[in-house]
Amino acid sequence: MRIWILSDIHVDFIENRKWLDQLSDFEYQDDLLILAGDVTHNLDLFKSTLISLRKKFKMLFFVPGNHDLWLRDDLFSDSLEKFHHIQQFCKSNDIKTSPELVSNNLVNILIVPLFTWYHLPHQTDSLYLTKPGEGSYEEMWNDSYFVKWPSESFKPVEYFLNLNKQQFRSGNADLVITFSHFLARQENMFSNDGRLDREKMKKFDRNPKFNFSMIAGSKLIDEQLRIMGSKIHVYGHQHINHDRIINGVRYVAHCLGYPAERLRGMIEGIEQGLKQIWP
Ligand SMILES: [Fe+2]
Ligand SMILES: [Fe+2]
């Protein structure tokens, strides 16, 4: 049994659907895939994509990303209702969205999906860092238009982390692997040596006014995964791939991203296919 990771498959792009279709139907039948969110907002396409991916692996683990909770039609009254619909769909199709202990070669691995969201710049646990020339995220960030919560006072990060707490059970695990769509630490946004690579950022920065750190994630995600004893944390959302150990935890991102981002060379390592994180 091998554990593979992937995120941000954005199947609205035909190139991405082709990329996924090319994954073998036979090679991964003893293996497990962790898919860390951002499939598509289109519910029919979302469902058919997850069902066909499910068949390629022994087990499929999933958490929704922001794009999956977008409301582009009137099927749901808010994004939380869509979230619960997705949960139910996953349950009915044997796609794991709650912790599962898997055993292989006498090693017990606990895989823990973490539902998450991001804190905004004015909120205490935001990953926000100032950027010269930045504008406000509201106009530039599509979630402002397509994500709707049940009320003004609804706190998505706290709500989702509480769900994670409720469904967590520590077992006899030799290794705990957690995964979330959003980022857990500010360092996750930077290159592997821990420094902000200015040249690289400039090359990939198509919208200098947009500051990703405003909507990146939350420090509370890191707090939760460490309480759970995670040694490997998988994440997505940024469309920049990293693999780095910080204070005893390995943080790994392996996004497919947008076709244009791959053409620009922004998505490192994706030309080799899925990324194996265990053994
Ligand atoms: Fe994405
Ligand atoms: Fe995302």
Kindly list the domain boundaries of the chain, sorted by start residue: 3-278
Ligand nearest to the CA of 65: 2
Q: Which residues of the chain have pLDDT under 50?
A: none
What's the CA-to-centroid distance between 146 and ligand 2, angstroms? 13
Residues 125-147 pLDDT 10s: 999 998 888 998 888 899 999 99
CATH architecture group of domain 3-278: 4-Layer Sandwich (3.60)
What's the CA-to-centroid distance between 257 and ligand 2, angstroms? 10
Ligand nearest to the CA of 257: 1
Ligand nearest to the CA of 142: 2
Structure confidence at residue 157 (pLDDT): 98
What tokens does 228 get?
Answer: 């759970």
Task: With beta carbons less than 8 A apart as the criterion, state whether 95 and 50 touch.
Answer: yes
Structure confidence at residue 106 (pLDDT): 86
What's the CA-to-centroid distance between 59 and ligand 2, angstroms? 23
What's the CA-to-centroid distance between 236 and ligand 1, angstroms? 7
Structure confidence at residue 171 (pLDDT): 77
What's the CA-to-centroid distance between 235 and ligand 2, angstroms? 10
What's the CA-to-centroid distance between 218 and ligand 2, angstroms? 13
Neighbours of ion ligand 1 (CB under 5 A): 8, 38
DSSP 126: B
Structure confidence at residue 193 (pLDDT): 60
Ligand nearest to the CA of 70: 2
What's the CA-to-centroid distance between 245 and ligand 2, angstroms? 22
Q: Which residues contact 223 (CB under 8 A, 6 or more apart)?
A: none
What's the CA-to-centroid distance between 108 and ligand 2, angstroms? 30
Ligand nearest to the CA of 143: 2
What's the CA-to-centroid distance between 103 and ligand 1, angstroms? 31
Neighbouring C-beta atoms of residue 274, cutoff 10 Å: 20
Strands (E), the chain: 3-6, 32-35, 59-62, 95-96, 100-104, 107-113, 175-179, 232-235, 242-246, 249-253, 275-278
Neighbours of ion ligand 2 (CB under 5 A): 38, 65-66, 237
Structure confidence at residue 196 (pLDDT): 54
Which residue, 116, 103, 115, 114, is CA-closest to 278? 103
Phi, psi of 145 (to 5 degrees): -95, -30
Structure confidence at residue 202 (pLDDT): 65
Task: With beta carbons less than 8 A apart as the criterion, state whether 185 and 127 touch.
Answer: yes
